[in-house]
Structure 1
């Protein structure tokens, strides 16, 4: 627009100048000789040509500048568009990879239940040979490894889809850090690694922090350090308060990280190209989870490493000091730490001796349990566990389960149901049951390969139902069923009183 305005102004100035010259020529005195007049006309014509050429040059220059500017604009626009398209393609590929791994992780949890469940029963046999024990141990260790991988994928998906909710609680800092550290002592001893806890903090220092995420962050860093360390290497955990922040360092004397890879290790699914590290396995999610959690807590994490000299991960987390102890708060050395390993997927429970065994005398007094699951193997596995202590009814989906409930042919005392099923899933069945006066008092235990569903299920359950995440074992299921029925019976007695 500016270029066109300049051209218009130049043309107008040119026309005005021409008009002035013509008026001067007309007003010339008649007495001037014809020769002088011809010279004057020639001068005017030459001046006109010069101005015309100047105007053409000006217009050409402006057009050239405009063309160059437009070319630069289109080049930059195309480059920005190409960059945006590349970013979008990378995002879509990453999303497709995440969705694929997520679906695989969910699908793994059901067969893992059907492997680890029967395996737990087989391992209780006192007559196993040494070879059989080794085989069972190999099956368990690799199955549990798959469970850990599935849990990591599910955790990353959850972090990416939801805004992190920070839940602060008052904890003794040094004791909490020591408990997390101590959870890996056995592994360090087994691998002959010098494992140190060098935290010079006041024993009475209490803070307000997100304890669960602190456990996962530190636990993952320790596990990672031990994983890449070898016999006679050292792994040390240090911590201090620095500028109002908690600084935690996990240092190892292992092989170190190549400088070219240090900016990549926090990315999802990234794995080192080094053959020695690739053979250690994993899907490359551990440090990505740590980074997501640290960012969610408004902290920072960095890595310092040299090849052959070891690696240090330094985490900075904002904290709030706490000295307002409550009388009802207790915290002891026996507090449970939820470590990020396969132990979190087990429930170490005693044999359910309190549950009556099936016999003719109490056959009529046994509770009736409706089991709803679309996986035939899982349905049979659950029914086999419950058969000795309960009357068991089967249903392949929520719709069939409702048909059994509404038929009135059975008095169902407990429902054990999967969530994801065809025709009618567990949540739809739950919604219908809670609206029926004659059914709403029946407690429900949900089974799911989706651990992230637990808060939503517990909310819907009105405090009556329970939730079991796959994989689970025999004792775990029996204990949950027993506790739910006991809780319902206690509530019924209170209501009667």
Structure 2
């Protein structure tokens, strides 16, 4: 029995060891399979990330390629209109410009929809008074509804007049799309009701109309990309299947939900719900209601030259030959225009004649050397560093815009644009540069202090240029930080720079050619232009308030004089 017991124990141990070895081998195989699958997933993730980046770049390229011909069409139509023509032809040319604007808006929606699908759109929340926001959005369509003979009403509750944390831009886009669709499909004599309630932890907005309604089998499909409703909608009011798809993407972005309830022949009601998050009233002080913009037209462009004076030189850099030639024709009446098709050619021309070109006008997306690289080279060159620089581009993202301003661009004009806007920007930049040069010839600014003066006297010119730029950057940073203060004074800035007010006045005059008051005004207007391009605020009054103007009418007048377009044109 002892031998039998030992034998059984030995057999059991051997079986246990065999199973243990098999278990370890199996574990290794499983671990190897997991590692392989993890590696495959990582590789697929990298490929997807590269694909998303490629898609983003593709859409940027598409935007660039489409906006350039739209700019050509718009500028050519503008030139035809200015030349004088019979009334019928003038109406037809004006219609061309309207269609260009419509195509540009459509292009923006397509690109935004694809960015949202790829997860490239972020939500930015801010405190907003809900009832005021809804009334303002509703009011945008009052005249259109009245013109069409529609009974257009808003129903809100007084107790809902509270501040909420809202993604204002995305919400406004959704509501504008729903209301504009309701007006488009509601016949004359029909009714539209926009109503809102705050209930529990949700906000609900409903836009109801008495239009033709939507068939039950299409009520989900209308929120799909590029889907167009069939016979249930008015064939005389076609769409592109983009607006509602973008609304759904934006609704998902704010953790909301959008849907429609409808019966054929009985109209439609579109519902939007999203989480309600309360906000402090004092945080939303910048959202003061704007005063109506009733500014009288301002003459924004004067002839730069008088008879017999040499034309100032400007350099235009654009890779599209047709647009390059058109810009040459538009600008050559007032300037001696140099032409380049990429940044490398432009830099060669600038280095060959650093004093000749008073302004550089450049596209961003170009072969060989792009606009960003060109701007960076100009800003780092000792003789070209202060040359005014304007970007003309189809790029629309906030990141691209901020990158341009970080590199030191003086102006950013989006395609398509009007020639008066470009001419006004060039004129003002040249005027400011000439004021700066004339002041430098007349007197050198007093040094900041004796130590700085001694240091400057011993440094090379290149280092002096670097010091100048650093000092200007400090000045601009302080000014930007306090621009919302209407009472900002030059003495306040001097105190923060640790210099006297008189010294600061001399330096501002020397480096910018402007008086301190003029410099502050230009800084406010430049910041307002940036805010408008970024779509950070939705009314002229809000932008004016954010940069230190309490009078929206006065702000609009100054803005149009500086940029050739009223601020409302940039919405």
Q: Confirm or deny a common fold (TM above 0.5).
A: yes
**SS of aligned partner of 2:274:** strand
Deviation (angstroms), 1:218: 0.8
CA distance in 1, matches of 2:417, 2:278: 39
Question: Does 2:264 correspond to 1:311?
Answer: no
Residue 310 of structure 1 and its aligned partner are, at CA, apart by 1.0
Q: Tell me the CA shift for residue 484 of structure 1.
A: 4.7
Q: Per-residue deviation at 1:300?
A: 1.4
Query: Which residue number corresponds to residue 403 of structure 2?
Result: 459
CA deviation profile, 1:107-157 (whole Å, cap 9, x unmatched) = 3322221222232344456x6443223322332333332222212112112
- Contact 2:375 2:409 (8 Å CA) reproduced: no
Q: Would the alpha carbon gap of residues 279 and 326 (structure 1) be closer, same or farther in structure 2, given more than 3 Å must change?
A: closer
Deviations 1:292-348 (A, max 9, x none): 111111111121111111111111122433344269635124389xxxxxxxxxxx9
SS across alignment from 2:424: helix
Displacement of 1:398 in angstroms is 1.4
Residue 307 of structure 2 is matched in structure 1 by: 360
Distance 1:299 1:419 in 2: 37
What is the distance in 1 between the residues matched to 2:93 and 2:418?
A: 15
Change (3 A) 1:427 1:129: same
> Map of 1:41-80 to 2, 5 A cutoff?
none
Contact 2:390 2:412 in 1 (8 A): yes
Q: Are 1:475 and 2:420 an aligned pair?
A: yes
Alignment of 1:329-478 (within 5 A): 329=286, 331-334=288-291, 350-353=298-301, 355-363=302-310, 366=312, 368-408=313-353, 410-452=355-397, 454-462=398-406, 463-478=408-423
Note if contact 1:458-1:466 (Cα within 8 Å) is conserved in structure 2: no
Unaligned ranges ≥5, structure 2: 1-52, 437-471, 473-505, 512-571
Partner of 2:226: 269
Contact 2:318 2:340 in 1 (8 A): yes
Query: What is the alpha-carbon distance in structure 1 between the residues aligned to residue 109 and residue 284 of structure 2?
Result: 38
- Determine if contact 1:250/1:312 at 8 Å carries over to the other structure: yes
Q: Is the aligned partner of 1:239 residue 2:196?
A: yes
The match for 2:70 is 112
3-state SS, counterpart of residue 363 of structure 1? coil
The structure-2 alpha-carbon separation of the partners of 1:181 and 1:460, relative to structure 1 and needing over 3 Å to count, comes to same
Q: CA deviation digits over 1:191-223, x for unaligned, max 9?
A: 322222222345853333222222211111111
User: Could you say what secondary structure the match of 2:223 adopts?
Assistant: coil
Q: What residue is the counterpart of 1:4 in the other structure?
A: none
- Cα distance in 2 for partners of 1:260, 1:103 equals 37
Quote the Cα distance in structure 2 between the aligned partners of 1:390 and 1:276.
53
Q: 2:187 aligns with which of 230, 240, 248?
A: 230
Report if the CA contact (8 A) 2:218-2:229 is conserved. Answer: yes
1:260 deviates by 0.9
Aligned to 1:15: none
The TM-score, its normalising length taken from structure 1, stands at 0.69
Relative to structure 1, is the Cα distance of residues 475 and 209 closer, same or farther in structure 2, using a 3 angstrom cutoff? same
For the residues of structure 1 that align with 2:133 and 2:287, how far apart are their CA atoms?
A: 13
Root mean square deviation of aligned Cα: 3.4
Judging changes above 3 Å, is the alpha-carbon distance between structure 1 residues 477 and 326 closer, same or farther for their aligned structure 2 residues? same
Partner of 1:31: none
Deviation of 1:175 (Å): 2.1
Assess, with a 3 A threshold, how the Cα gap between structure 1 residues 279 and 436 changes in structure 2: closer, same or farther: same
Deviations 1:237-264 (A, max 9, x none): 1112122332111111111111111111
Name the CA distance, whole Å, in 1 between partners of 2:184 and 2:259: 19
Contact 1:188 1:226 in 2 (8 A): yes
Point out where structure 1 has 5 or more consecutive residues left out of the alignment: 1-94, 337-347
Task: State whether structure 2 residue 82 is matched by structure 1 residue 135.
Answer: no
SS in 2 for 1:313: strand
Q: Within 5 Å, give how 1:240-259 maps onto structure 2.
A: 240-259=197-216
How is 1:87-106 mapped onto 2 (pairs within 5 angstroms)?
Answer: 106=64
Q: Displacement of 1:470 after TM fit?
A: 1.0
Cα distance in 2 between the residues matched to 1:382 and 1:237: 46
Q: Retained in 2: the 8 A contact 1:172–1:203?
A: no
- Equivalent residues, number: 388
Who is 1:220 aligned against?
Answer: 177
SS in structure 1 of the partner of residue 286 of structure 2: coil
Q: Does 1:198 align with 2:155?
A: yes
Structure of larger gyration radius: 1
Question: In the superposition, relative to structure 1, how do residues 484 and 171 fare at CA in structure 2: closer, same or farther (>3 Å)?
Answer: farther
8 Å CA contact retained: 1:175, 1:203 = no
